[in-house]
Structure formats: C-alpha cells, structure tokens
Amino acid sequence: MQIQMVDNVERNTASVLVPAIETASDIRIAVAFVSSDGLSQIMPSVRMALAAGAFVEFLVGMDPRATDPFAVKDLNAMFRASSQGALLCFAPRNASAIYHPKMYLTRDNQTATAIIGSSNLTRRGLKSNIEANVVIRDDVHSEIVSEIYSTYNRLKYHHDRVIPDDEFIDLFAELCQHEKFRERKLAKDTELKKLKETFIGKANRLQRPKPTRADLIGWLELV
C-alpha cells in the first residue's frame, strides 16, 4: 500500500487525479460541490476514459449556494448520451445534516487509487485552495480498498439519493438563482462589509503560532 498527502501547496490534487482517471477502467466521484471550472480540470480525462470503455459515476450534492447548476446539466447530458455511467444527486429532505464528502476513486483490474479529504470538484479545490487529502493506492482486493468502496456505497444508496431528470435540474437552477439574488443583497449590506473588514483587521493583529519540538513527529524530528 502507498499513502501520500496532497495539500495543493507542494502538489495539487488535479495532478494526482487526472492521470489516475486516464488509466482507470472504473471511476467513481462523490463530492459535496461541483462547478463548471472544476469539471473542466478533469473532463478531457473522463471523456478519454469513457471512450476506452471505463465506467464513470458521479454522486453530487445539490447545495444551491455552492454547486453550479450548469455543471450538473453538463454531467446529466454526458450520461444521457452514454450507458457507461451515471449521475446521482443528493437532495436532502431536511437540514439536519450536510452532505459533505469528497471521494475520488479509480481502479483497474489490479490497483485502486483513492483520493479522500477536503477538495471539492471545483478549480480552487483541485488546484489552489489550501486542502488536506490523503491518497491511498493498494491492491483492489485489499481490506482498506473494500472499506473505502463500502463507504462510497453507503453514500450512493442513502435514502436522500435520487436519479435526476430535467425538471429536477431546472428546479435546482431556479433555487440557485434565488440564492445568488440573496447573496447580491448581502453584498450591498454596508454594516456586514464593515464587520468583515473589522474581523480581518483583528486577525491581522493576532499572534501567529510558533513551531515547537512537539510538532516534530517521525522523520521530521530526524531532519
């Protein structure tokens, strides 16, 4: 088993995900948020994998504040034209819990690669946000791979998971428009703007943490 960390600082998530997709026969992605600019980072590789016969599946959260309806429409159109995969959406019936996973799973006949952490399927999540993702590579029959896919399947068959149709996606797009309108109104709130500036100003005056010996674990202590 190989394990590494990816944080978009020394190496970005896209640089690990894209080649994993291109060589996979099975690709499964479960994310809370997806955007068109995020999709653009991986879609050439996804289409290449589909053309080679790969199965591709997306489990997407439908948060009108963060998921791009145009990205959802593009995914729906792609899978409508292909029988080699599916788009499934998470539509919560109440606000008691937030759908928040980020799992990128790829495999061939021998090896599975899992990227699990904080990166949503957005350009910033894959390339520039400060993230924390663990990359695990192991035999497809290993215990950890079985556990990872078991977690994915619990997400897939959650009672709030739905197979979208055009009406559902259009309704979501309408929700997103209302959310954008609300955000534009907030952006004009001078009191809120002043509060944000005060908060950032306070943050700039606070002390920063200093490294200590207790932070040095394993090979870090040797170096």
Q: What is the pLDDT of residues 143-182, one digit of tens each?
A: 999 999 999 999 999 999 999 999 999 999 999 998 888 7
Q: Are 124 and 41 in contact (CB under 8 A)?
A: no
Which strands, in side-by-side order, build the sheet including 26-31? 2-6, 133-139, 111-116, 102-107, 26-31, 55-61, 85-90, 161-162
In this prediction, residue 185 carries a pLDDT of 73
Domain ranges of the chain: 2-165
Low-confidence ranges of the chain (pLDDT < 50): none
Rounded (10°) angle between helices 36-51 and 13-22: 20
pLDDT, tens only, 192-213 = 778 888 888 888 898 888 877 7
E-strand stretches of 26-185: 26-31, 55-61, 85-90, 102-107, 111-116, 133-139, 161-162
Which of 59, 44, 50 lies closest to 25, judged by CA? 50
Q: Are 120 and 37 in contact (CB under 8 A)?
A: no
Task: Look up residue 59 and give its two tokens.
Answer: 């489990």
CATH number belonging to domain 2-165: 3.30.870.10
